[in-house]
Structure formats: C-alpha cells, structure tokens
Amino acid sequence: MREQLLKFETFAVGTIAVFSGLFLLQTYQYGRRAALFPRVVSFTILFLTGFFIVSRIRRAMVKPPAKKETTRIVQSEITQAGGVHWLLTLSAATGFFVLIYLVGFGPSTFFYVTAHLYLAGYRRHRVIFLFALAMAIVIFLTGYLFTIPLPEGVLVPMIVGER
C-alpha cells in the first residue's frame, strides 16, 4: 500500500510540475504586469517540485533502519485512529464553495482552513485559528496587491448596505 501511495504521490507531483511549466511558458505571451502573479506561482511550484525530487533522492539513498517492536505499536495506533473521514472532508470542501458564494472568498477561506486542519487531526485550536487567519489575510492582500477580483459573496453587499 505504501509503495502505491509513493508512486501516486510522485505521479501527482510530476503532473502538477508539467502543468506549472506549461503555465509558465504561456505567461510569456502576456504583458509584464499580467504575467507577474502566474510566474510567481509557477516558479514556486517548480521550486517545491525540485525540493520534492531532492527529498526523494535523499530518502532513497539512506538505508532504512532496522524495524523494531515500537514501529509495530505506532503503526497499529495509526490504523486504529480511523484515518481521514472522507465524507466530512468532501462536505467541508462543498461548504467552502457555498460560503464563497454567500460571504466571499476571504471569510470562507478562514472557515475552510480551520475546518480542514481540525478534520486532519490537529487539535491545537489557537494555532489553527491563527494560521487560518494569517492565510486568509495573505490571500486577501495578494488579491488586493495584484488587483485580482476575489468573490465578495451575495450577503456582504446586503450587510454593508450597498446595491
């Protein structure tokens, strides 16, 4: 199972890298300002892909340590935890899209990241809320900096009093 997961992970990262490279090549048809954000994203993805490849090579070169009894105990605890609740994760993603429509991209990002980290098993609430807030602020500021029209939601103009 683990070998198949590693193969799938490598295939997924390779596919993302190919699309990012093609996207980077396509940005040279745009103007300087229009191509800035897509190039930053593409270079970041390609850098992380390179980091992934170097990490895989280093991991393959290191000999695995001898298995001990504690390894089996830890693995049995992991399998008993139940893993990821796929239905809840899918519901959170669907709720994210509904919230984007209702309250806009920034607040819905905060709620989605909070829910997703909690569903993933992380239980330090203060860290979850601070990380989700920081991520929503960074996304909002990036949209403002590059003048990307992020969805406001249908409820925001009603609450603010605009039409």
- Rounded CA gap, 121 and 132, in Å? 15
69 lies in some domain: no
pLDDT of residue 22: 93
What is the identity of the amino acid at 137?
I
SS3 content of the chain, % helix, strand, coil (to 5): 80, 0, 20
Statement to judge: residues 84 and 32 lie in one domain: no
What local confidence, expressed as pLDDT, does residue 19 receive?
92
Which of the listed residues 42, 64, 86 is the one where a domain comes to its end?
Answer: 64
Tell whether 87 and 55 lie within a shared domain.
no
Ranges in the chain, pLDDT < 70: 1-2, 63-84, 162-163
Domain count, the chain: 2
Judge if 102 and 163 occupy the same domain: yes
17 and 51 co-located in one domain: yes
Is residue 7 assigned to a domain?
Answer: yes
Q: What is the domain range of residue 162? A: 78-163
**CB burial of residue 129 (10 Å; 0-12, 13-18, 19+):** middle
The one-letter amino acid code at 12 reads A
Whether residues 56 and 135 fall in one domain? no
Q: What is the pLDDT of residue 71?
A: 54
Residue 33 resides in a domain: yes
Indicate whether 71 belongs to any domain. no
> Is residue 31 domain-shared with residue 97, that is, in the same domain?
no
pTM score over 0.85: no
Query: Do 49 and 86 fall within a single domain?
Result: no
Please name which of 139, 147, 45 lies closest in space to residue 100, comparing C-alpha atoms.
139
Would you state the pLDDT for residue 163?
58
Last residue of a domain, one of 33, 64, 95: 64
State whether 113 and 150 are in the same domain.
yes
In the prediction, which pLDDT does 25 show? 92
Domain final position from 64, 87, 118: 64
pLDDT at 44 (0 to 100): 93
